[in-house]
Amino acid sequence: MSIELTGFLSSIRTTIDVVKGFQSTYSSIQIMEAKTELLERLIGIQSTALSLQQEHSALINEKNELQKKFIEFDSWKETESSYRLIDLDKGKFVYALKSPQLSSEPNHWLCQNCFNDRKKSILQAIFVNDFDEMYVCNRCKSYLSLH
Ligand SMILES: [Zn+2]
């Protein structure tokens, strides 16, 4: 083999090695870019999954709150139907049991203010004698004085 041919083949081999090196480098860059893009997409998917999970959790909480309110509403309707508004003395209103004889509770009055807020608050006697009566609602702190 002549020196020229040996040099040429050597030069081709060197060029092929350089091209292989370029391909190897190019492939590595492509792989890096693909990895980066894949990682970005995975982060995006993870972020979306996290958002959906938070949304799902919020919806579950909302559903539980609505169920709780529905149960409270149902319970209140039953309570509400057991009472009627009465005028004790010139516009001093309370709610009283419709049928105290059928109730398992002792006879009592409910605060009209709290009743309107769907809360059952029994008026407490703080002063009672033959002439005067004073009642307080421990929930809203309103007073009712009867003479
Ligand atoms: Zn009250």
Same domain, 30 and 94: no
Same domain, 23 and 58: yes
Rounded distance between C-alpha atoms, residue 124 and residue 100, angstroms: 17
Low-confidence ranges of the chain (pLDDT < 70): 1-26
pLDDT at 37: 87
| Ligand 1 centre distance from Cα of residue 140 (Å) | 4
Rounded distance between C-alpha atoms, residue 78 and residue 103, angstroms: 13
Give 89's DSSP letter: S
User: Where does a domain end: 55, 80, 105?
Assistant: 80
pLDDT at 51: 94
Report how far Cα 34 is from the mean position of its chain's Cα atoms. Answer: 40
User: Where does a domain end: 56, 80, 104?
Assistant: 80
- The pLDDT tens digits for 115-132 are 999 999 999 999 888 888
Same domain, 90 and 74: no
Same domain, 29 and 75: yes
pLDDT at 3: 67
What is the number of structural domains in the chain? Answer: 2
pLDDT at 71: 94
- The pLDDT tens digits for 1-25 are 566 656 656 666 666 666 566 556 6
| Ligand 1 centre distance from Cα of residue 14 (Å) | 96
20 phi and psi angles, rounded to 5 deg = -60, -40
Same domain, 55 and 27: yes
pLDDT at 143: 93
Same domain, 8 and 66: yes
User: Where does a domain end: 80, 114, 135?
Assistant: 80
| Ligand 1 centre distance from Cα of residue 15 (Å) | 95
Domain assignment of residue 73, given as a range: 1-80
Contacts of 129 (CB under 8 A, 6+ apart): none
Same domain, 106 and 142: yes
| Ligand 1 centre distance from Cα of residue 139 (Å) | 5
| Ligand 1 centre distance from Cα of residue 27 (Å) | 78
For residue 17, the one-letter residue type is D
Same domain, 60 and 71: yes
pLDDT at 137: 97
Same domain, 7 and 72: yes
| Ligand 1 centre distance from Cα of residue 80 (Å) | 15
